[in-house]
Amino acid sequence: MRKYFRYLLSYKLDLFFYILLSTLIWGITLVSPYITGRYIDYLLNTKTMELIYIFSLIILFIGTSKTILSYVFQMLSIRFEAKTAFDLNYDILEHVKKLPLSFFKKVNATYLNQRINLDSNNVISFLINDVIGMCFKWISFLIAVIVLFKINNIIAISLVVLVPLYLILYLSFKSSLFNIAYILKEEQDHFIGQMNEQLLNIKQVKFHSIHDYLGNQIKLSFNKLFAIALRHARVSSLFSSCDNIINNLFRLVLFFFGGMAIIKGKLSIGEFTMINNYFTVVIKGIRNTLDFSKNYQRTKVSQKRLDELLEMKVEQNGLIKLDSINSIELKDIHFSYEKGPKILESFSYKFEKGKIYCIIGENGTGKSTLIELLLGLVGEKYQGKVFYNDKSIEQLDMYNIRRKLIGVSEQEPVLFNDTLINNIILGNKELKKKTISEWMKKLSGETIIKRFGEDKKMKIYGKSSNISGGEKQKISIIRAVIKEPDLIVLDEPTSALDQFSTNKLKEILKEIKDNKIIIMVTHDESLINISDEIIKLEPAKYKYTV
Q: Which pLDDT score, from 0 to 100, does residue 485 have?
A: 93
Nearest residue to 327 via CA among 369, 360, 374: 374
Name the pairing type of β-strands 342-352 and 355-361.
unpaired
Question: What domains are there in the chain, each with its CATH number?
Answer: 1-311 (1.20.1560.10), 327-536 (3.40.50.300)
Edge-first strand order for the sheet with 383-388 is 342-352, 327-336, 383-388, 391-392
Rounded to 10 degrees, the C-alpha dihedral 19/24/26/28 comes to 180
Strand partners, 406: 487
Identity of residue 42: Y
Report which DSSP code applies to 394: G
For the stretch 226-274, pLDDT in tens is 999 899 888 888 877 877 787 787 778 778 888 888 888 888 888 888 8
Q: Is 100 left (phi over 0), alpha (psi -120 to 50) or beta?
A: beta
For residue 353, how many other CB atoms are within 10 A of its CB? 17
Q: Which pLDDT score, from 0 to 100, does residue 111 have?
A: 81
Q: What DSSP string runs through 439-472? A: HHHHTT-HHHHHHH-TT--SBPPGGGTTS-HHHH
Nearest residue to 257 via CA among 156, 143, 146: 156
d(CA 170, CA 243): 10
Q: Which pLDDT score, from 0 to 100, does residue 544 have?
A: 44
- Using alpha carbons only, give the angle 93, 95, 99 rounded to the nearest 5 degrees: 110
Length of the chain equals 546
d(CA 123, CA 298): 9
Q: Which pLDDT score, from 0 to 100, does residue 236 have?
A: 83
Identity of residue 260: M
d(CA 50, CA 65): 23
d(CA 380, CA 316): 8
d(CA 536, CA 89): 44
d(CA 337, CA 121): 36
Which residues neighbour 473 within 8 Å (Cβ) at sequence distance 6 or greater?
A: 409, 413, 493, 494, 495, 496, 497
Contact 349, 535 (CB under 8 A): yes
d(CA 380, CA 382): 6
Q: pLDDT under 70 in the chain at which residues?
A: 162, 166, 170, 202-209, 339-340, 433-434, 444-447, 449-457, 462-465, 539-546
> Which helix H or strand E contains 530, and what residues bound it?
none
Alpha-carbon distances of 359 from 146, 183, 474, 536, rounded to whole Å: 81, 46, 21, 6
Return the SS3 of 383. Answer: strand
- Where does residue 213 rank: exposed (0-12), middle (13-18), buried (19+ CB within 10 A)? exposed
For residue 120, how many other CB atoms are within 10 A of its CB? 24
* The three-state (H, E, C) secondary structure of 253-272, written as one string: HHHHHHHHHHHCCCCCHHHH
Name the pairing type of β-strands 383-388 and 391-392.
antiparallel
Alpha-carbon distances of 344 from 30, 349, 528, rounded to whole Å: 73, 12, 22
Contact 460, 466 (CB under 8 A): yes
Name the pairing type of β-strands 541-545 and 533-538.
antiparallel
Alpha-carbon distances of 439 from 150, 240, 436, 506, rounded to whole Å: 85, 67, 5, 14
d(CA 98, CA 303): 20
- Using alpha carbons only, give the angle 168, 169, 175 rounded to the nearest 5 degrees: 100
